[in-house]
């Protein structure tokens, strides 16, 4: 009899471990936290009191005589206490009539439908069987160390297992999507009755992972397992560069993450940056002010959105503040 496709509920992790984690991987830790694909870490208990620290993340502007588009890089999961929504960032946001995000998060039913259709393998082959023999025991140990039942991961696609496993260390360190810019900006946009749109859809983002070759997915998973102990260190360094407005530092971490993964680099970074630059070039034809907030990794390095804009004879200028 044919096996039925696994249909896990949204709460496939234990209740204390949350639901649908946002990717934060290493060597893809910096990549996905800075690109911000797909998932949202559950809200964690907030420590109190929190000492506020000033952060001045980088902001760029593209403008002509009647159109202004701001480019703001985000880190999708942050610890509480960073004060970033002020000064030039707040001023640019308040002046804009439209907020553009990578993705407007859909309802949980839509998330479940998409995840079930793309993140689980109906073929019957277990995830352990797909892994090279020398990578199986480290993966099992990582599950055991994080108190995750092996059976939960058996039918996952390798990319989804990597995402699911990688979210836990940074969550335990206090990183939380509720502190991230997307939620803050969306709430502020609704309060000011601004239009909020997405450059992509949830299903589109999941399709990016789903389109990766099996080889790339397995490399993603094994790399995640190997680098889990350093996830907190990597996140701290990346957030520090973001808060200081240091895209060069962020780009270095990104380049280190992707140097051995050209397929992932092309699918998750280069191709998307090119599409977004084309969107911006087209949007420049319509008068108005737009505030675009995307993962900071897209605004750093030689393949950044700003670099891609050069193809359209557009220049993104850093806002000094």
The residues, any chain, with a CB within 8 Å of residue 272's CB and separated by 6 or more, are 200, 208, 298
| pLDDT > 90 fraction of the chain, expressed in percent and rounded | 60
Confidence band, pLDDT 50/70/90 cuts, at residue 118:
very high
E-only strand ranges, the chain: 53-54, 59-63, 67-74, 82-83, 98-103, 195-200, 288-295, 317-318
Backbone angles phi, psi at 50, to 5 degrees: -110, 130
- How many Cα atoms are found within 13 Å in the side-chain-facing hemisphere of 120? 22
pLDDT digits (tens, 9 = 90+) for 254-266: 767 676 778 988 9
Residue 16, pLDDT score:
36
Is it the case that residue 40 has pLDDT exceeding 80? no
Mean pLDDT of 274-284: 98
Residue 235 has pLDDT above 90, yes or no: no
Look at residue 176 in the predicted model and tell me its pLDDT: 85
Residue 20, pLDDT above cutoff 70? no
Separation CA 300–CA 73 (nearest Å):
9
User: How much is the pLDDT for 229?
Assistant: 86
Which residues does residue 169 pair with via DSSP β-bridges, in sequence order?
Answer: none
CB neighbours of residue 124 within 10 Å = 11
**pLDDT of 254:** 72
pLDDT tens-digit series, residues 185-213 = 999 999 999 999 999 999 999 999 999 99
C-beta of residue 215 within 8 angstroms of C-beta of residue 52: no
For every residue of 68-133, DSSP letters joined together read EEEEEEE-SSB-TTEE-SSHHHHHHHHH-SEEEEEE----HHHHHHHHHHHSB-TTS--HHHHS-H
pLDDT of residue 171: 81
Provide the 8-state DSSP code for 245.
T
Closest residue by Cα to residue 74 from 26, 135, 122, 33 = 33
H helices, E strands: number in the chain: 15, 8
Is a pLDDT exceeding 50 seen at residue 112?
yes
């Amino acid at each position: 009899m044919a096996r039925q496709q696994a249909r896990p509920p949204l709460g496939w992790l234990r209740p204390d471990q949350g639901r649908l984690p946002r990717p934060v991987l290493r060597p893809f830790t910096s990549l996905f936290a800075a690109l911000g694909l797909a998932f949202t870490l559950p809200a964690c208990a907030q420590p109190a009191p929190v000492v506020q620290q000033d952060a001045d993340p980088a902001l760029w502007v593209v403008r002509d005589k009647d159109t202004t588009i701001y480019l703001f890089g985000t880190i999708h999961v942050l610890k509480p206490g960073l004060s970033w929504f002020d000064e030039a960032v707040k001023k640019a946001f308040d002046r804009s009539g439209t907020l553009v995000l990578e993705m407007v998060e859909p309802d949980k039913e839509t998330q479940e439908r998409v995840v079930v259709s793309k993140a689980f393998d109906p073929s019957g082959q277990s995830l352990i069987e797909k892994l090279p023999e020398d990578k199986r025991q480290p993966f099992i140990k990582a599950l055991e160390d994080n108190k995750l039942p092996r059976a939960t991961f058996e039918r996952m696609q390798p990319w989804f297992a990597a995402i699911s496993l990688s979210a836990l260390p940074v969550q335990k360190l206090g990183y939380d999507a509720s502190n991230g810019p997307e939620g803050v900006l969306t709430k502020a946009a609704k309060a000011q009755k601004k239009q909020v749109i997405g450059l992509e859809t949830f299903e589109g983002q999941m399709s990016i992972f789903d389109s990766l070759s099996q080889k790339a997915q397995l490399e993603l998973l094994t790399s995640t397992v190997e680098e889990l102990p350093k996830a907190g260190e990597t996140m701290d360094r990346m957030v520090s560069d973001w808060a200081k407005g240091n895209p060069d530092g962020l780009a270095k971490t990104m380049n280190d993450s992707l140097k051995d993964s050209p397929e992932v680099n092309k699918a998750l970074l280069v191709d998307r940056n090119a599409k977004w630059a084309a969107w911006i070039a087209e949007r420049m034809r319509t008068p108005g002010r737009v505030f675009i907030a995307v993962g900071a990794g897209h605004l750093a390095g030689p393949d950044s959105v700003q670099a891609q804009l050069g193809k359209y004879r557009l220049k993104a200028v850093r806002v000094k503040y």
